[in-house]
Structure 1
Amino acid sequence: MVILKVTDLILQHCKQQLEKFNFGKRYTANGTKAQQLTGIIGQSVVMNLFNKGFINGNEGFDNGIDILYNNLKIDVKTMGRTTDVRANYTNNFLKLQDYLTT
């Protein structure tokens, strides 16, 4: 298992993005601001891992595509936890997102 740390730079960037933009643009299940922060932190950590920078709210709705890598459309999924990830944890995929091409 790989454990990636959230840097202070990523955390501050994501907090600033959340102050400027609403990342919950679906017709339902948009998440609280805390849940949106968890999501954009997770996305930014993975983007950084793939040398894709951090999330940018100026770009608007991403159609569920968080990262393009080797012609793959990736949607990063996150869930708030108080511990490191464990093999028996699940991460829910919402049915309302199954029309997306990721």
Structure 2
Amino acid sequence: MAEAEDKELRARKDRERDELYALDISGVEWHSAPGTEAHEERVEIAYLPDGAVAMRSSLDHNTVLRYTEAEWRAFVLGARDGEFDLESAAERSGGDVE
């Protein structure tokens, strides 16, 4: 039973990903953190339908990652909890993080 549920979940996630990447995002509005200059590298995000989000580097507009609402929510909550803080990452790995 669990195997069938896992297959169904995987198929649903694959469909969601395929639909997300099939979206035409050529006209979306990109947002970045305030206070950054146009020439500085920064993360930009665009809000997509159904709560999804696209993310790219300001210096590489051709590489765009897309996240479902659930994936983005999990990331934002993790960031708020410090899961991605450089100091915490160094402590967890026992070394320096560059």
TM-score of the alignment, normalized to the shorter chain, above 0.5: no
TM-score (norm: length of structure 1): 0.28
Which has a greater percent of strand? 2
TM-score (norm: length of structure 2): 0.29
Which has a greater percent of helix? 2
